[in-house]
Homo-oligomer: A and B are copies of this chain.
Amino acid sequence: MNQTQEQILHYARLFLQSRGYNGFSYRDIARKLDIKNAAIHNYYPKKEDLVATLLEESRKEINANFSRVVESGGGGKEQLQSYFDYTFQDYDNGRRICLPGSVIVYHGELPDKVQEQNLLLIDNIIGWFSRALKTGREQGEFNFSGSVDERADLIAGTLLGIRQLSTLKGRDTLVKTITLIKADLGWID
């Protein structure tokens, strides 16, 4: 992967997470890199290829992160915290909403390839949340109501939403709402 290709992915992700699937074009990326539209088609023949790649790479990255924490013996709190850290990092990198959130608005209208990868990404994240919650509950780190799976959905939905809300209300809102998510888990630092 050469520098141009890396830069394409970099800006594609930035635009995608700022404006959603239908909110950016190859032109936007081309202009940033001072190349022509068609150069991007050279690497990613279709927009769906580009976006599916981003989703797939993100899934791999997230899975690698969680795996690392789990394998190093991290408990439920450490596992979840690693995702909260990732969220703040993502936000601080200028990505205003989360990656699955930028695609989900159009889900159903998008190419199969993209839908498929977004589903995989979301299922993976929620799967890791479930495992973290299960571990944490068993080890007495958490004390929450509802089943592990329901709680995982709630956390996923909440993170999705507060990233979008933070677009209007700023980083402080993101910090404070994540603190409340923890409080609701019976999480004591």
Contacts and interface: CB of A to CB of B under 8 A. Distances in A.
Contacts of A151: 180
Contact of A161 (B18, B20, B146, B161): B161
Q: Is the contact region of chain A dominated by helix, strand, or loop, or is it mixed?
A: helix
Contacts of A145: 180, 183-184
A19 B184 CA distance: 32
Contact of A154 (B146, B162, B168): B162
Contacts of A169: 153
A111 interface: no
A107 interface: yes
Interface residues of A, number: 43
Contact of A105 (B105, B122, B181): B105
A169 B123 CA distance: 10
A106 B106 CA distance: 13
A20 B106 contact: yes
A175 to B, nearest CB: 10
Contact of A150 (B106, B150, B176): B176
Output the residue of A20, A119, A122, A179 with the most chain B CB within 10 A: A20
A189 B119 CA distance: 35
Interface stretch (A4-12, A62-70, A84-92, A96-104): A96-104
Contacts of A58: none
A82 interface: no
B160 A165 contact: yes
Interface string A12-54: 0000001110110000000000000000000000000000000
13 contacts: A18-B108, A20-B22, A22-B23, A23-B105, A104-B164, A104-B168, A105-B164, A145-B183, A156-B165, A157-B162, A157-B164, A160-B165, A184-B184
